[in-house]
Amino acid sequence: MRKSKKVYSGLDSLPHGMASTEITPGCVALEGGALRGVYTSGVLDALMEAGINFQCTVGISAGALTGINYVSGQIGRSAATSLRYARDTRFMGPKAYRRNKCIVGFDYIYNEINKAYPLDKKRFFDPARRFVAVATNCRTGEPTYFDRDTCSDIFQAVKASSSIPYASKMTMIDGDPYLDGGCSVKVPYAWALEQGYEKVVVIRTLTADYRNRVTPRMYTDKVPLLMGLFYRKYPELLRKLMATEPRGNAEFEEMQRLHDEGRIFMICPSRDLGFDMVMRDMEKLGAIYYLGYEDGKAAIEPLRAYLAK
Question: What are the sequence ranges of the domains in the chain?
Answer: 30-304
What is the rounded average pLDDT for all residues in the chain? 91
Q: Which stretches within 154-271 are classed as H helix?
A: 154-161, 189-194, 225-231, 235-242, 244-260
pLDDT: which is higher, 5 or 146: 146
The mean per-residue pLDDT over the stretch 57-82 comes to 97
Is the predicted pLDDT of residue 101 greater than 80, yes or no? no
CA 78 – CA 66 distance, rounded (Å): 6
Residue type, 115: K
77-99 burial, b if ≥16 CB within 10 A, otherwise e?
bbbbbbbbbbbbbbbbbeebbee
Is the predicted pLDDT of residue 15 greater than 80, yes or no? yes
CA 192 – CA 292 distance, rounded (Å): 22
* Distances in whole angstroms, Cα of residue 305 to Cα of each of 8, 54, 260: 35, 15, 14
pLDDT in the model for residue 54? 99
pLDDT in the model for residue 277? 54
Is the predicted pLDDT of residue 223 greater than 60, yes or no? yes
CA 166 – CA 14 distance, rounded (Å): 34
3-state secondary structure of 23: coil
SS (H, E, C) 48-67: HHCCCCEEEEEEECHHHHHH
Give Cα 138 distance to the centre of its chain. Answer: 19
Is the predicted pLDDT of residue 220 greater than 80, yes or no? no
pLDDT in the model for residue 2? 44
The mean per-residue pLDDT over the stretch 146-173 comes to 95
pLDDT: which is higher, 45 or 210: 45
Domain made up of 30-304: CATH architecture: 3-Layer(aba) Sandwich (3.40)
pLDDT in the model for residue 176? 98
pLDDT tier at 221, thresholds 50, 70, 90: low
pLDDT: which is higher, 218 or 114: 114
pLDDT in the model for residue 36? 92
SS (H, E, C) 267-296: ECCCCCCCCCCCCCCHHHHHHHHHHHHHHH
Task: Quote the pTM value.
Answer: 0.93
